[in-house]
Structure 1
């Protein structure tokens, strides 16, 4: 028996969807779960990248979109591929399968890997939202703080090497200045940067896409051998 996991990208960038799906599929293969097939779904409307509160709120409306709901109801599991988990609760209430947000999964994994944990990301416009999210999921006591890259997020997205460097600096600030023992890279579109940094740093660097896939693998029963 195979499982289909729908990975929803709440922004309208198809290359971002393809990148996240590739990382997710490789993760399931690495976990020995070749029975899980990842299907990507790009937001049919809305912003191309979530960098401000109003864009995150717009993206949450994806949970009510008929096309999204129809696909979610036919999947065996759903991953919401934006760090703010837009529409997560609404989707979970409308389908009977596991629905996992990458922000939710990353914080759970970071708290397991090493408390205190920090978050490094590129979107200062979402700072308040991320702090509220930490509180909402109940991780305030384990949270060491948020570090932001200095360059505008849309500019960084065009320069992967610079994005990696600024995120590395932010991760190091989380570790050296805030005392973090694990650091989350806060963003689905930043998953490639998270992969690049995992091999370079001494503490766990949490890739939110990988965290969500590992949690999904726990929740979907494997085929008995």
Structure 2
């Protein structure tokens, strides 16, 4: 196969857990149409599971790090970038510097769910609730987000114990359905593929955040990049050389 003719996408797992990366790959790779390559990469540093504000902030840096390394490889022009975390760390930064569409699992799920009316979220990790509320508001979906149902086990714990995950998430989905939501997003990279398994236990449609991410990005529903070039707008100190590259046209900033 002539790989130069492939349409290339980059999927970044912003945590350091290779099992999460593998789960995303296992769910999404079989769905790729001919002529499409999905390069799945794991963060080189940060937390094995993004569970709080601090790990989310570091994950944003890790996303930029993966993108700069990929960008520096000859022949790797990208058709799009998908952030493989239901929290979209680095979304706005990556969209600013990338000359291609960028979305994350959360934003893509919001885009899909909003077409059906008000929606709810089921996810692992109690600290995620205020973080997701803030993200929904910043992306313009705050009014449509009806309810967030978090379960005590983290996404990593749910991924490690599928039987427990099915029991726990089934009840959570039933609780979320009582909010009046027209659909429920099952959010989390570690929960990729679970929506199909849980649909029979839920009275409203379930949205798999990983599947939504790919469908929105590949279907060209993701918000477009603000520019037609890529690169950083600021000089850096103490970061790898790839971060020093800037676009041809640089906004002066404030």
**TM above 0.5, one fold?**
yes
Relative to 1, partners in 2 of residues 1:153 and 1:218: Cα closer, same or farther, differing over 3 Å? Answer: closer
Q: Is the 8 A contact 1:115 1:143 kept in 2?
A: no
Q: Is the 8 A contact 1:9 1:43 kept in 2?
A: yes
Asked which structure has the greater CA Rg, the reply is: 2
Equivalent residue, structure 2, for 1:25: 29
- SS in structure 1 at match of 2:192: helix
Equivalent residue, structure 2, for 1:120: 122
1:78 to 2:81 alignment: yes
Give the TM-score taking structure 2 as reference length. Answer: 0.78
Matched residues, number: 213
Determine the C-alpha separation between the residues in 1 that align with 2:64 and 2:124: 28
Q: Is the 8 A contact 1:119 1:183 kept in 2?
A: yes
Equivalent residue, structure 2, for 1:208: 209
Pairwise CA distance, 1:193: 2.2
1:52 to 2:42 alignment: no
Pairwise CA distance, 1:90: 1.1
Structure 2 unaligned blocks of 5 or more:
222-254
Equivalent residue, structure 2, for 1:156: 158
Pairwise CA distance, 1:156: 3.3
Pairwise CA distance, 1:150: 3.2
Pairwise CA distance, 1:71: 1.1
Give the TM-score taking structure 1 as reference length. Answer: 0.87
Relative to 1, partners in 2 of residues 1:81 and 1:210: Cα closer, same or farther, differing over 3 Å? Answer: same
Give the structure with the higher percent helix: 1
- SS in structure 2 at match of 1:138: coil
Pairwise CA distance, 1:69: 1.4
